[in-house]
Chain A
Amino acid sequence: MPQPESRTVTTASAVSAMDPVLFEVIRNALVEATEEMSVTLQRTAYSTNIKTRLDYSCAFVDAEGRMIAQAFCQPAHLVTIGRLVPRAVAEYADEHRGATLGPGDALLVNDPHRQASHLNDVFLISPFFHDGDLVGYVANCCHHVDVGGGAPASIGAFREIYQEGIILPVVKLFDDGDLVDDVLKLMLANVRAKKEVAGDLRAQHAANEIGLRRLSTLWERYGTEMLGSYMDRMIEYSERRLRAELAELPRGEFAAEGCLDDDGITGEPVRLKVRIRFDGSTARFDFTGTDAQRAAPMNCNLTQCFTACVYVLKCLVDPDIPLNEGFYRPIEVIAPEGSAVNVRPPAGVVGGWEVAMRLCDIMFRALADPLPKRVPAGTKGMICHVGFGGEDPATGEYYCFLETLAGGYGGRHDADGPDAVQTHIQNTQNAPVEETELNYPVRIHEYSLVPDSEGAGRWRGGLALCREYEFVGHEPMFTTLADRARFPARGLYGGDAGKVASYMLISGGAARDLGSKATVQLTAGDRVRIETAGGGGFGPARERDPEAVLRDVREGKVSRARAREAYGVAIEPGEWAVDLAETGRLRRSAGR
């Protein structure tokens, strides 16, 4: 593997002070401990959101609160854990006159205004002791299907956080190994999906216990001193590698901006702005000029904003660099307090991840000019939450369901954007139709790609997807918290924008556009049809290989009419062949 000479020389001296072998062994063992937490959490969880859609994450943080190791799951959560743990632990100590945590304790927190994320993301933090000393924390974050508030699944659009659900400041859920019943009782009294929330909390605890068990073996083997010094090395190693990459990125300042459809309360779009500066050893992300925060759900906090920046930078550099505290060090984020990217209480925040997701799209666009080969065109660019709940006619119990829908990815400089896929900070799986229908009073009539929804391009964007629900024998509340109904995923380098999303209620034979953020009371037999957004194209559509267009037409992803209009490709009538003469004519005339 050839590497530039200078790089090899500078790294050699830094490494010589440690055993590179033990370094690799310890690093893998720490990651493995978090992976084991991850498996436990998934397999023992109760809500579809955790067990099937994998909307959770696990990590290990050292005693100083530095992110050390994390399992492969949701990028969104992982930065948050690292930011939240030191703060939560410190606040807990402050609020309890310096009281320290002991073995068997576990802290529960979800307060976004303390730099958790949105209320649905509930964090459980367990201190890890070795020989009586605190040496770190295992923590996990789960998106709970419901945390109370004004709409089932707790994703409704409201002005204040108090309307969004139960706020958990930093409280003990476990004290010296015992469940603090009062806290659990209080929490369950405030949520709709009691069984799922209780089961998922149990799973969160089981995951941390498994993590603690695994770490104990490791600490018994190597001891605190040695592991401490290797954890320092791991952090230095990531920082060193990131800085080496930053040294090779083009220097300068790169800006872009974009808009969310609306804030969920008023029809006013939320404008997001970023200027990214690379100076050879640091990356600065400046969001000055972004709209002020709204009394609405479409605000994110500083942690979520930082998460988006880490995500984008991580994608630009060697994917092999381990993500830990060292990776964060060269990153500077300037996000004006009180803006939509650094929200102050008591504003709503449930749409915070929607904001952070769009920031990723905008940041990639800012970097398209200096780094055309490393960024995708605009993507579905939203989390696209769908939630519903009500009384299950079969059991008489209150049920609650949440899922997030995929969309098109953006075209790349040498490849199409994949169809129907989660993007950026989100990588949640879909809920199987059969499992959903088995467990909830809903019927899904269609789950398909949306033809012609791609942004045309030399490399086309990915197709959006469609999901149509029918509610059977009961009258649930239905909520979407999404975006992209007004502003499409943009193309790059002459590529076209993707198709915008649509959110339709079909009731009594009439269809009504709900917009991207809505909570509606349905009647039995109502249907909701959601078509998400397609990805943007990369490069001019008329430069697309006609054979690739033909394949898309043949596969029914692109219509013949669109092939002609958007791509200037004519397909022989009744045959699967490109009409070369006509295509040449079409493309020539478009060129003039």
Chain B
Amino acid sequence: MTGNQFHLGIDVGGTFTDAVLICEETGRIDTAKVPSTPADPSIGFMAAVERVLEGRAVDPGTISRLVHGTTVATNSLIEGKTPKTAFVTTEGFGDMLEIARQVRPSLYDVHFEKSRPLVPRDLCYEVPERLDAEGGVLKPLDEDAVREIAAALRARAVRSVAVCLLHGYANPVHEARVAEILREEDSDLLISLSSTVCPEFREYFRASTCVINACIVPVVARYLAGIEAGLKRAGLQAELLVMQSNGGVLTAAQAASKPVFMVESGPAAGVVSANFIAGQLGHTDLISFDMGGTTAKAGAVLDGRPRVTKEYEVGAQAQPGQGMTRASGYPIRTPVIDLVEVGAGGGSRAWVDPGGGLRVGPRSAGADPGPICYGRGGTEPTITDANLVLGRLNPDYFLGGEMELDVDAATAGIRERCAEPLGLAPIEAANGIIEIANATMVNALRLVTVRRGNDPRELTMVAFGGAGPLHANRLCMEMQIPVLVIPPSPGTASALGLLVTDLRHEFSRTRVTAAGAADPGQIRSLFEVMENEGRRTLRREGVAAADMAFRRGIEMRYAGQSSEVPVALPREGADDGTDARALVGAVCRFHGEHERIYGRGYPEEPVELVNFTVTAIGRIARPRLSKIGANGEGVSDALRGTRRVFFADAAGFVETAIYDRARLRAGHHVAGPAIIEEVDSTTLLHEGYRAGVDESGNLLISPGRAP
């Protein structure tokens, strides 16, 4: 093994910690899965590192790249395990976090609660000062008052503080001065400024973003420092990179100062992975579908770029059928890969409601006790139980045979809890559970496709997660998605995303300007300021100038609207995208985008430019994956036998061929109905579909018959 360099990705999830190791020279991939250790996630992290390195006897010194995805930031918030944090704002507005949006998260519920502010009211401080909407100073900053606040913070042993002053997005002068004074008074204080973290208008959302950053800074900094120390002890020299919510990576040092950018680090990796896998096949427009134990997540990638949103709530409840007035979590306004998450995972429970309706999720049996068939004390039927009863899962080959599944118990549970109350046979009820779960997932897929104006008939689906390949074929049928890709080792495919992305930093500035009156020169210098900031950051991260790229964009709206539509500014040759003609072109594209998303464009209406954005990218070379090649054997070599599997379209059980994925070779074709089993997942292939195996070991599923 000497001489080879390796890339290592570690994805810490709620239940499992996954490791993926790629050999730079051969492209061979190895994976490992260990239980997560929520009390101190770095223990699970190191265990996964050791497990995957041991598996191949790799010398830790040969790891040339190390990327981490984690939900530790989000979890610490949701579990309320953040250290004492304070909030400083303009006099008169100290209750910003308490009042929040002044709405209820559920309409017809007298027992509702507003989400508890992350900073208690007695740690919210007001400082006399005031800017106007243009950033002009109406009232100068009262510096003595800031010093008094500093003294109070010291007295209360506050370690981290968020500063968000009214109209601070338009002019950071007062926030910057507050930071200087606080630092003079206490050099150890961790300070998050809204004008640095998220310089966009609408104070509550900016403040919320900044406060979340301040709350998790100490946690994430300590966590990453612990991991870096552990890695050093284990002999790994490579710099630790961290996946952000937007799908890019950044250095651990950057992540530790702006952790709000990594709250959805783990799920983002899945979409990046899907994008990479499809990209290898030449597909640039796709849906990423990740179904695990508790939820299913759908995301869209268009033109090779994952869709990113700035409307995200940390800790919001995932509820199908619930609309926008969620307000059940804490909003952030940093870019997050746009994922729709629904409560339909393998462990989601099925139940009969008092009106006699069969329902599935969003509650989950989790990993413990888990589905009934695990035999660990679970008593409520789940999606996994239904799949087992329908013959889709192999009771003797779950997790490669590590766990035996109890079919009889699953059948009895479904009979008692679902079938009998509805007057159905257990098989009918099990099929119903699957159909309803599929319908919920179809709704999620609709949200990321048709609702965003994307036609699913032009997309490819990449499905992964332990349960994804069992359901994906049916979902593609429903959505008329023509091509389905199941990557090898779907259970750990998400972690691959960590190793196939770039360094990425997002910058934005709010300058509300009428499109007709915009000054290209001013816009250009605004972009240049942000690009210079990006260039400095990338340089600090060791990126060579030749590997840097900058993308400019303007978020626009019709003058009078409040929701902006992002429009990219292309950069061709010497054109810097901000001359008058380029602006006209961008406004034209805005009309088109508005029509695509909302069904109508209004070219005669005046347009406003609102936020100017720059994405700074430091390119990282992608690994080449190894090929599996052909071995001359026919597909029958991979045939394991047959089993009776229930198919709704056949209205009954069908004797179905079972294949061993490990023995499928490039060029093989399998015709549905069929089941393809591997250690961490099971692929269900329907009648009328066929699966081809490509050189990378992907299953490519499309409508068609056996050749």
CB-contact partner of B354 in A241, A319, A435, under 8 A? A241
Closest to B121 in A: A555
Residues of A within 8 A of B598 (CB): 40, 43-44, 206, 210
A33 to B121, CA, bound (A): 41
A16 touches B435 (CB 8 A): no
Q: Is A422 an interface residue (CB 8 A)?
A: yes
Which of A274-282, A342-350, A423-431 lies at the interface?
Answer: A423-431
A134 → B minimal CB distance (Å): 22
B106 touches A15 (CB 8 A): no
Which residues of B321-337 are within 8 A (CB) of A? 321-325
A361 → B minimal CB distance (Å): 11
CB-contact partner of A445 in B92, B104, B203, B561, under 8 A? B92
Residues of A within 8 A of B594 (CB): 44
Which of A18-26, A108-116, A519-527 lies at the interface?
Answer: A18-26
Q: Is A447 an interface residue (CB 8 A)?
A: yes
CB-contact partner of A213 in B113, B351, B599, under 8 A? B599
Fill in one digit per residue for B442-472: 1 if any A CB lies within 8 Å of its CB, else 0. 0100100011000000000000000000000
A333 → B minimal CB distance (Å): 18
Which residues of B605-633 are within 8 A (CB) of A? 605
B133 touches A438 (CB 8 A): yes
Q: Is B314 an interface residue (CB 8 A)?
A: no
Residues of A within 8 A of B639 (CB): none
CB-contact partner of A449 in B99, B110, B132, B440, under 8 A? B99
B432 touches A21 (CB 8 A): yes
Q: Is A585 an interface residue (CB 8 A)?
A: no
Q: Is B439 an interface residue (CB 8 A)?
A: yes
CB-contact partner of A51 in B98, B106, B561, B600, under 8 A? B561
Q: Is B202 an interface residue (CB 8 A)?
A: yes
Fill in one digit per residue for B385-423: 1 if any A CB lies within 8 Å of its CB, else 0. 000000000000000000000000000000000000111
A448 to B108, CA, bound (A): 26
Fill in one digit per residue for A33-62: 1 if any B CB lies within 8 Å of its CB, else 0. 001101110111111100110100000000
B670 → A minimal CB distance (Å): 28
Q: Is A73 an interface residue (CB 8 A)?
A: yes
CB-contact partner of A406 in B102, B359, B424, under 8 A? B102
Q: A43-B563, A447-B92 are in contact. Are A25 and B439 (CB under 8 A)?
A: yes
CB-contact partner of A434 in B109, B203, B352, under 8 A? B203
B112 touches A418 (CB 8 A): yes
A72 touches B356 (CB 8 A): no
Q: Is A237 an interface residue (CB 8 A)?
A: yes
Q: Is A261 an interface residue (CB 8 A)?
A: no
Which residues of A282-317 are within 8 A (CB) of B? 311, 314-315
A141 → B minimal CB distance (Å): 15
Residues of B within 8 A of A23 (CB): 357
Q: A46-B558, A71-B323 are in contact. Are A412 and B357 (CB under 8 A)?
A: no
Q: Is A175 an interface residue (CB 8 A)?
A: no
Q: A42-B324, A43-B561, A195-B560 are in contact. Are A448 and B93 (CB under 8 A)?
A: yes
B560 touches A196 (CB 8 A): yes
A446 touches B93 (CB 8 A): yes
Residues of B within 8 A of A14 (CB): 356
The CB with the most chain A CB atoms within 10 A, among B108, B321, B324, B599, is that of: B108
Residues of B within 8 A of A391 (CB): none
B421 touches A8 (CB 8 A): yes
The CB with the most chain B CB atoms within 10 A, among A24, A52, A435, is that of: A24
Residues of A within 8 A of B432 (CB): 20-21
A364 to B108, CA, bound (A): 13
**Interchain Cβ contacts within 8 Å, total number:** 241
A31 touches B169 (CB 8 A): no
A376 → B minimal CB distance (Å): 5
| Interface residue count on the A side (C-beta < 8 Å) | 97
B599 touches A434 (CB 8 A): no
Q: Is B2 an interface residue (CB 8 A)?
A: no
Closest to A413 in B: B111
A555 to B106, CA, bound (A): 26
Residues of A within 8 A of B324 (CB): 38-39, 42, 54, 72
A319 touches B106 (CB 8 A): yes
The CB with the most chain A CB atoms within 10 A, among B109, B110, B424, B431, is that of: B110
Interface size bracket, B side = 35 or more
Q: Is A420 an interface residue (CB 8 A)?
A: yes
Residues of B within 8 A of A364 (CB): 110
A196 to B558, CA, bound (A): 11
A570 to B133, CA, bound (A): 45
CB-contact partner of B443 in A29, A43, A72, under 8 A? A29
Q: Is B103 an interface residue (CB 8 A)?
A: yes
A101 → B minimal CB distance (Å): 20
Residues of A within 8 A of B322 (CB): 72
A23 to B424, CA, bound (A): 15
Q: Is A562 an interface residue (CB 8 A)?
A: no
Residues of B within 8 A of A210 (CB): 598-599
A446 touches B92 (CB 8 A): yes
Q: Is B83 an interface residue (CB 8 A)?
A: no
Fill in one digit per residue for B168-208: 1 if any A CB lies within 8 Å of its CB, else 0. 01000000000000000000000000000000011111000
B354 touches A3 (CB 8 A): yes
Closest to A210 in B: B599
The CB with the most chain A CB atoms within 10 A, among B357, B436, B439, is that of: B357
Closest to A35 in B: B323
B108 touches A28 (CB 8 A): no
Closest to B326 in A: A72
A36 to B512, CA, bound (A): 28
Q: A11-B356, A449-B95 are in contact. Are A75 and B201 (CB under 8 A)?
A: no
B422 touches A28 (CB 8 A): no
Residues of B within 8 A of A422 (CB): 102-104
A283 → B minimal CB distance (Å): 15
A255 → B minimal CB distance (Å): 20
A444 to B138, CA, bound (A): 13
Q: A447-B96, A449-B95 are in contact. Are A311 and B321 (CB under 8 A)?
A: no
Q: Is A13 an interface residue (CB 8 A)?
A: yes
Q: Is B358 an interface residue (CB 8 A)?
A: yes
B95 touches A448 (CB 8 A): yes
CB-contact partner of A447 in B99, B122, B421, under 8 A? B99
A319 touches B109 (CB 8 A): yes
Q: Is A209 an interface residue (CB 8 A)?
A: yes
Fill in one digit per residue for B152-172: 1 if any A CB lies within 8 Å of its CB, else 0. 000000000000001101000
A38 to B120, CA, bound (A): 34
Which residues of B355-371 are within 8 A (CB) of A? 355-359
CB-contact partner of A11 in B113, B354, B558, B605, under 8 A? B354
Residues of B within 8 A of A320 (CB): 353
A75 touches B435 (CB 8 A): no
Q: A20-B356, A241-B354, A446-B93 are in contact. Are A430 and B561 (CB under 8 A)?
A: no
Q: Is B320 an interface residue (CB 8 A)?
A: yes
CB-contact partner of B166 in A16, A323, A434, A554, under 8 A? A434
Q: List 12 A-B contacts (CB under 8 A).
A: A1-B351, A7-B354, A20-B356, A25-B436, A39-B323, A73-B325, A240-B355, A412-B110, A432-B202, A449-B95, A449-B99, A468-B92
Query: Which 5 A-B residue pairings sit nearest by Cβ, starting from the closest?
Result: A11-B356, A72-B323, A46-B560, A241-B355, A446-B92
Given contacts A39-B451, A315-B109, A435-B201, 11 further A-B contacts (CB under 8 A): A8-B356, A12-B422, A44-B598, A364-B110, A406-B99, A432-B202, A434-B202, A434-B203, A435-B202, A447-B93, A448-B93
